[in-house]
Each structure stands twice: as C-alpha cells, then as structure tokens.
Amino acid sequence: MRRSLVVGNWKMMGSRAGVTKLLEELKGYLVASDRASIAICPPYVFLPQVSEDLRESGLRWGSQNLSQYDEGAFTGEVSASMLKDFGCDYTIVGHSERRSLFGEGDADVAAKFVAAQSARLTPILCVGESLQQRDSGDALEWVKQQIIAVVDVAGIDAFADAVVAYEPIWAIGTGKTATPEQAQQVHAHIRGVIASLHPGVADSLRILYGGSVKADNASELFANPDIDGALVGGASLIAADFAAICRAAE
C-alpha cells in the first residue's frame, strides 16, 4: 500500500507577510496524518521561514529546483546539501517550466536527480507531454523517454527513493485538468515502464498527478489505482483549497 503524497508547488509567488499568513492558515487546516504525506515547495528565499514555522507541524517542505553541482563558483545556484541544511525532504526536478523556460534538458534533469539523492533529498521527477504531442499520439512514448533518460544515468534502484509527477503541459495553469481516465492511463504506463526494469520498485513508486488539481477534482483523480497524490500549483496558495486536496488524498 503506497502512502499518498500531496505537494504544493508555490512557484515564484508570495511575500514574507503573505507566507506568514499562508503558513498559519495551513497549520490551522492541516494536521499530520498517517495516511498522507504533505509537503510544500516555496521559493528558496522562504525556506528559512518555512523550516522554522513548520518544524513541529508534521508538514514537510522541499525546493522547486536545485543545482546539479555540490559547491563552487556557480553564481545564483543552490546546492542539494544547502537545501538539506534547511530541512528539505524533497526537491522538484525537471518541472516543465524549468525545461521550457530555462532550457533544462534530460541530461540536466538526470544530473539534478542524482545530486538530490546524494544529499538524501527525495527527487520529485516531473514528466509530461505538450498538447501537440498528445494530439499526435506521442504522449506515452514521450513520457517513457523522459523517465528512461533518468534511469540511464541514476539506475533503476534509485527510483526506490524517488517520486514521479506526471504533469501534462497543457493542463498546467490552464484550468484544463486531464480526465481521470487520461491521467490513469499515463500513470499506469509509467508504472509499467518501471516494472519492466524492476517490479518491486514499480510497486512502491509514488506517481503524482499535476495540472490544475483543485478541491473539486482531486477525489476523482485519487480514486484511480495508479494515482498516488498530487503536485499542486495554483490551488496550493489557498490554504482551504490545498487542505481539501490533502484530505481527499487520505
């Protein structure tokens, strides 16, 4: 039985005052649960505040990105060990916004995945197709290639301590969610790709869905056997909505 996981990706949103308020509200709504893990990924600069405020809460946190390098003259970068130092458990790698807006390719994503694990952070590896790829029937093959690119570098055993997030690009921030059937099909496919290499790892791998997850569509997504939780963007900035999604995952 896989334990559900709901992760809030705040993206580049928020202010000091806004974060203080949101964390207070979240702590009011959410109590640690045996059945679901909950984490938030704020912008880097808010990690000290988040790590302080959530210390006793049972809620966990992570980053939205990391450097593939350990240390050195890499202006503007943040390393896995720095994130670990601030209590991060998770880091998102290969989000489609990093891939499309900041030019991260499969090799960068794989290097970041390995760097995360070397500091004992759990990478949340994002994969997903564009609308054009879906329309031309290439979604499953594309997602498979994105997974295999990381397996080739990190090895299949590394997926025992990782999370995969399926985020169809056309569903991100658009209000257009994949139907539960569409999401389940890709999730089952991802699990199948991993199972063909290591059935045990596939069984325990948590695969999250991301793309316009809201309080009113979370339950029908989570009802599917291969959907183990969600990576939530916009709705994670509204405490009541994020809490409702987390409750649906329990």
CA dihedral (21, 96, 133, 205) in degrees, to 10, reads: -80
Site for ligand 13P in 196-215 (CB under 6 A): 210-213
CB of 97 to ligand 13P, least distance (A): 7
| Catalytic annotation present for 71 | no
CB of 9 to ligand 13P, least distance (A): 4
* 173 annotated binding-site participant: yes
Longest dimension (CA), the chain: 48
Chosen residue from 39, 50, 111, 231 binding ligand 13P by CB under 6 A: 231
* 175 annotated binding-site participant: no
Q: Which of 104, 167, 187, 189 is catalytic?
A: 167
Minimum CB distance to ligand 13P smaller for 156 or for 238: 238
Contact map string, positions 60 to 99, toward ligand 13P, x by CB under 6 A: -----------------------------------x----
Q: Does 42 bind ligand 13P (CB under 6 A)?
A: no
Minimum CB distance to ligand 13P smaller for 95 or for 187: 95
Considering CB under 6 A, how many residues would be counted as binding ligand 13P? 14
Chosen residue from 83, 121, 232, 243 binding ligand 13P by CB under 6 A: 232
**Residue 246 three-state SS:** helix
The one-character DSSP state at 159 is G
Cα of first residue to Cα of last residue in the chain, in angstroms, is 12
Beta strands in the chain (DSSP E): 4-9, 36-41, 60-63, 90-93, 122-127, 163-166, 206-210, 229-232
Site for ligand 13P in 95-154 (CB under 6 A): 95
Burial class (CB in 10 A: 0-12, 13-18, 19+), 45: exposed
Kindly state the helix (H) or strand (E) to which residue 146 belongs, with its residue range.
Answer: helix 139-154
Return the structure tokens found at 172: 């991100």
Task: Report the alpha-carbon distance of residue 188 to residue 103 in Å, rounded.
Answer: 28
- Which residues fall in the annotated binding site? 9-11, 173, 212, 233-234
Active centre residues (catalytic)? 95, 167
| Contact footprint for ligand 13P (CB under 6 A) | 9, 95, 167, 172-173, 210-213, 231-235
